[in-house]
Amino acid sequence: MEKQLMRIGISLPGSLLETFDDIIYNRGYSSRSEGIRDAIRSYNQHYEWMQDIKGKRAATISIVYDCSKKGVNNALENVQHQYTDMILSTVRIHLDLPLCFEVIILEGDGERIVELAEKILSQKGVRFSKLMTVPPARTGGEGTKEA
C-alpha cells in the first residue's frame, strides 16, 4: 500500500486524453487516477526490463514519427549512424501524412541496443517507439527445432 498519495498536474493534448479516458472506461478502471497509476507502473516496469538487457541480442526497434517536423529525419539518421555496426537493416513506409513507420533490425550488445532505443525515443517528432529483443538463436543442442 502506498504511504502517501501525491497530487500532480499535467498538460496533454485533448485527443490524447480522450483516447486515454476511453481506454480506462473500457478496461473498467474506477477513475482516471487509477488508470494513470497503472500506466506509470507499466512504464516503470518497462524501464526496469530495458535495464536488464545485456549480452548479445537480436532486436527490432519500431518507430512512428512525424516526418513533416523540421529536422526529425536528419536527427534519426544521425542517431542511427552512431550504431551502424549493429544495424542490419531498416525498413520505412509512409503512413497517412505526415507519419512514417520505420523498423530497425539489429544485432549486438544489449546495452548499446537500449542506448540506441532511448536516443530514438527522445527525438522530437517521434510519437511511438517499441523495442523488442531476443537472445540470438543457438545452433544445435537443446531448445532448437528442426523443420
pLDDT in tens, 31-78: 999 999 999 998 888 888 888 888 999 999 999 999 998 999 999 999
Helix H segments across the chain?
14-27, 32-51, 72-81, 110-121
CA dist., res. 100 & res. 90, Å (int): 13
What residue numbers bound the domain in which 126 lies?
54-134
For the entire predicted model, the pTM comes to 0.73
Specify the CATH number for the domain of residue 36: 1.10.1220
Task: Please check whether residue 143 lies inside any domain of the structure.
Answer: no
Determine the average pLDDT of the residues in 77-102: 95
62 has which bridge partners?
103, 130
Q: Which three cell numbers stand for residue 39?
A: 500506466
Note whether 128 and 62 are same-domain residues: yes
Q: What is the mean pLDDT of residues 115-122?
A: 95
